[in-house]
Amino acid sequence: MPITTTVRDIMTKDLISVKNTDQAIKAIEVMTKKDIGSVVVTEDGKPVGILTERDIMKRVCPEKLCTEAVTAGEIMSKPLITIEAGAKLGEAALLMTEKDIRRLLVTEKGEVVGIVTQKDVMRGTLETFMVLASI
C-alpha cells in the first residue's frame, strides 16, 4: 500500500511572523505568547527568513548579551528552505535531515502557505504507521 501523506496534510497554515526590522525582543515575546519555537521573518510582507529559539540562543545572548537593539533580520536563518505542499511526508523528512533543520516553509504556486516542523513530521509518520498497522 503506497503512503500518500503529503506535507499539506501535516503543515500548520497560520504563520506567525515579525518584520525583519522588529527588535529580537519582540520576536521573543511573540514566540513566548504563542508558545511556538519560531517565527517567520518578513520584509515588505514577504517571507525572507525564519527566526528560531536556537538562533536567539546562539546569536543574541552570547554575543550581544540579549540587548534590545538586535533586530530579527540580523539573527534570522536564511535563505529560507521550502518544500511544495504536495510533496510526500518522506521528502520533508529527508530534506530536514539533509539540511540539518527542524522547520520548512511550505509553498504552493510560489506562495508560502504554511510551515511544517520536525514535530509535525513525527506526528504524520506515527499516524501513517498506525494506519498501516490496522490494515
Q: For 83-117, how does the pLDDT look when each residue is reduced to its tens digit (9 = 90+)?
A: 999 999 999 999 999 999 999 999 999 999 999 99
In this prediction the pTM is 0.76
Give the Cα-Cα-Cα angle 100, 104, 107 (nearest 5 degrees): 145
Write down the CATH superfamily of domain 7-133.
CBS-domain (3.10.580.10)
Kindly give the pairing relationship between strand 17-19 and strand 38-43: parallel
Q: What is the largest CA-CA distance in the chain?
A: 56
Of the pLDDT bands very low, low, confident and very high (cuts 50, 70, 90), residue 126 is: confident
Antiparallel, parallel or unpaired: β 46-52 and 38-43: antiparallel
